[in-house]
Every structure is written in C-alpha cells, then in structure tokens.
C-alpha cells in the first residue's frame, strides 16, 4: 500500500486504534497523526481514543489533542484503523469508520480479516508501528514520529524480547534511535516502572496464582473487589500476565480480571508450543500466536475449564 496515495486528496482524516489502548495502539495512532502533520499539513486530522489512555504515554506529541469524547460532526473522507483486528475492537469509533467515504486498516494481527477498503496486515511484524515505518516516506519522519514508532515497537515486543522481533525490526529500531530521543528513559518509564499499588496488586496476583497441567500452565485472577481495594483500573494490570509467564516450566499463562458479574477479560501468553490466538478466536477474541485476549462470560472456574480444555488439545 502507498499510504499517502491512498489518503489522496482527503481534507479530513479520522484515526483510531482499539478499545483499552496499549502502547502500540496509542503510539501508532499518534505516529500517523504526527506524520500527516509533516506530510500533509493541510489535512484536518482527528485521533480518537477511549478507556482512559495510559498517562505514561503523555510525552508523545499529540497525546493532549486526542479526542476522548468522540465529538465530530459529519463524516470523514478517510478513516484509518490502526492495530485493530476486529470491528468490535473499534469501540465508539466504529460509527465514524462505517460512515467514512474510504477506510484504511494497518495492523499486524493474523486474526485480522481485513476490516477496511484498503488493508495492510503484516502478521510477521512486531507491531503496527513497525508496519507504519515501512509505509511512511522517510522525508516526513521527524523526531516526534520516530519517538512514537519506537514506543510502539518497545511495548509490543516486550522491549525487543519477543519472537516477533525480526532482523528487520531491529534494523528499524536502529534507524529510529538516530532521531535522538531518550530511548532508555522511554523503556524505563513506560514499560518497567509501575506505581506502588500496581506492584502490590502484581504481588497479590502472583501469590494467588495456581499451577496446573503438571506445571505447564499458570492462572491468576484479580476480582472487582481487589481492584476497588487498590483503586486500580484495568490499564494498571498490564504486565501481570507476562510476569506469570516468566515462571520456569510454564508454557501457557492466563491472567483474567473481572469486568462485571460473571464476565472476565482474559489475557493469554504462550512460549510458542500452544497457539493462544486460536483459542482466543474460538471464544470471540483474537491476537497473536503467543499473546492473545478475549472477553468471556462465566465463573472463574468455568473459564479456566473451557480454556484448559482447548490448551490440552494443542499440547
């Protein structure tokens, strides 16, 4: 896809990522926003986001300009969905997406069926930010764009650690760091640093985790009561599933938090032996081979049973 050609002579462009935005989602939407400011300064661009975008990303250019209320009259000439693998994940942006004259989707989820009129889905890319780098014309990448792209790659690759990092991903990171932002500070302050209560709730989740299937699986859950007690939001629980996954011998880690009565948000991580995207997709979710998520109804035990049944089939 030639992104600028696809955007063509659009006068207004809407941009959105997915609900409960993570690092790659916030970074990819702001990267495109900053890029279009350089490449097409005449375009009126609106970035939508919902569910309290994590404030750790407030150093990214455009963060304060994001539209949180979905207030926009009329329709967009072009609407770009980034890091969004299914229509339901567009949240409140779906109506703008549906009304737009033309839609574009850039993503890296293999479960993405191609949501838009024009799609660039690269399942082997580390992140949507990596795909955007490939689509951007280098003359319009400035420090702000580079900082966004770097942040997205850092977050979706667990600081360059996951198997989604290819030789090309490292080359791109190498080119990005040339722009002169403080990479180590971004990694420390947005990936590793947690608030005191976040660490406390992580500790609780680890303490109450259960190993099963001969130690090949681990599961833990945070209920509404605990979230209220520590006064944390879902976005503050990011990283817990990865820590569970770091348990020696574990092949699949499952973390869930209570969204409502008998409704849970489930996150799964795998070391590659089990394809967790396949399992998440079975229950209406999606993601990647080694990192996937889904919302499920039932009790904690119902959900563990349903998931472990599917995990067992793949083991």
For residue 294, the minimal CB distance to ligand 5GP (Å) is 5
- Whichever of 86 and 119 has its CB closer to ligand 5GP, that residue is 86
DSSP state of 67: B
Decide whether 129 or 304 has the Cβ nearer to Mn ion.
129
The torsion angles phi and psi of 56, rounded to 5 degrees, stand at -60, -20
Q: Quick check: 291 binds ligand 5GP (CB under 6 A)?
A: yes
Is residue 156 close enough to count as binding Mn ion by CB under 5 A? Answer: yes
Least CB distance to ligand 5GP at residue 255 (A): 8
23 forms part of the interface with ligand 5GP (CB under 6 A): no
What lies within 8 Å, CB to CB, of 44 at 6+ separation is: 11, 12, 13
Q: Which stretch binds Mn ion (CB under 5 A): 37-45, 92-100, 153-161, 221-229?
A: 153-161
Nearer to ligand 5GP, 46 or 254 (CB): 254
Q: Which stretch binds ligand 5GP (CB under 6 A): 6-14, 160-168, 218-226, 284-292?
A: 284-292
Q: Which stretch binds ligand 5GP (CB under 6 A): 7-15, 43-51, 84-92, 307-315?
A: 84-92
- Tell me: does residue 275 bind ligand 5GP (CB under 6 A): no
Binding to Mn ion, residues 74-103 (CB under 5 A): 83
Look at the alpha carbons of 204, 207, 212, 218 in this order and tell me if their dihedral is positive or negative: positive
Give the span between the Cα atoms of 271 and 293, in whole angstroms: 15
Residue 237: CB minimum distance to ligand 5GP, A: 9
Q: Which residues contact 53 (CB under 8 A, 6 or more apart)?
A: 21, 26, 63, 66, 68
Residue nearest to Mn ion (CB): 24
Q: 87: helix, coil or strand?
A: helix
Of 45 and 81, CB closest to ligand 5GP: 81
Q: Alpha helices, DSSP H only, in the chain?
A: 3-7, 23-39, 94-99, 128-135, 143-156, 167-177, 183-187, 196-207, 224-230, 240-245, 276-282, 300-314
Record the tokens describing residue 274, joined without a space.
């089990």
CB 48 within 8 A of CB 66: yes
Which chain residues interact with Mn ion by CB under 5 A?
Answer: 24, 83, 127-128, 156
Which chain residues interact with ligand 5GP by CB under 6 A?
Answer: 85-86, 89, 109, 267, 285-288, 291-295
């Amino acid at each position: 896809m030639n992104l600028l050609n696809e955007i063509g002579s659009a006068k207004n462009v809407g941009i959105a990522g997915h609900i409960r935005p993570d690092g790659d989602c916030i970074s990819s939407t702001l990267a495109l926003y900053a890029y279009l400011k350089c490449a097409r300064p005449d375009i009126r661009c609106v970035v939508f986001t919902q569910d309290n975008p994590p404030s750790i990303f407030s150093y990214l250019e455009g963060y304060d300009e994001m539209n949180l209320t979905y207030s926009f009259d009329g329709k967009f000439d072009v609407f770009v969905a980034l890091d969004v693998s299914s229509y339901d994940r567009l949240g409140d942006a779906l109506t703008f997406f549906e009304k737009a004259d033309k839609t574009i989707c850039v993503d890296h989820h293999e479960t993405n069926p191609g949501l838009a009129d024009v799609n660039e889905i690269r399942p082997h890319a580390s992140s949507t930010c990596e795909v955007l780098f490939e689509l951007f014309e280098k003359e319009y990448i400035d420090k702000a764009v580079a900082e966004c792209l770097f942040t997205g790659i850092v977050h979706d690759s667990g600081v360059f650690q996951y198997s989604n990092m290819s030789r090309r991903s490292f080359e791109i990171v190498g080119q990005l760091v040339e722009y002169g932002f403080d990479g180590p500070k971004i990694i420390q302050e947005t990936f590793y640093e947690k608030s005191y209560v976040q660490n406390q709730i992580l500790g609780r989740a680890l303490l109450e985790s259960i190993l099963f299937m001969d130690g090949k699986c681990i599961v833990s859950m945070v209920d509404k009561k605990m979230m209220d007690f520590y006064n944390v939001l879902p976005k503050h629980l990011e990283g817990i599933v990865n820590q569970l996954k770091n348990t020696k011998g574990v092949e699949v880690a499952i973390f869930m938090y209570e969204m409502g009565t008998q409704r849970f948000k489930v996150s799964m991580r795998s070391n590659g032996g089990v394809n967790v995207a396949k399992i998440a997709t079975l229950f209406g979710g999606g993601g990647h081979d080694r990192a996937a998520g889904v919302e499920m109804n039932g009790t904690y035990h119902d959900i563990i049973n349903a998931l472990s049944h599917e995990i067992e089939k793949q083991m």
